[in-house]
Amino acid sequence: MNVLRKLLENYRQTSKTEREKGNYFEELIVIYFKNEPTYKDLYSNVWLYADWASEQGIDGRDRRPLAVDNRHL
């Protein structure tokens, strides 16, 4: 089993709710985009949706998308 599968299985086993499992996954995706060489130079920042919404002064409840990016143009 590869590392990602082990990590996701850990999320499934330790999460008490579906929301908690989703939060873990969303945080993983943000970390991935900030650190993966293919993407880290493509985006100037990546936020969890709730964090971005808070900065914008709007409702940050779970609505999808999972994350918001700001591309270098």
Tens digits of residue pLDDT in 28-61: 988 998 899 988 888 888 888 888 888 888 887 7
What the block records as the tokens of 18 is: 């579906």
Contacts of 33 (CB under 8 A, 6+ apart): 39, 40, 43, 46, 67, 69
Placement of tokens 């990546």 in the chain: 46
Please calculate the CA angle 28-30-14 and round it to the nearest 5 degrees: 20
Q: In this structure, is the dihedral angle defined by the CA atoms of residues 7, 13, 16 and 19, taken in order, positive or negative?
A: positive
Supply the DSSP symbol for 41.
T
Written as six digits, the tokens of 61 are: 């409840």
Q: What is the pTM of this model?
A: 0.71
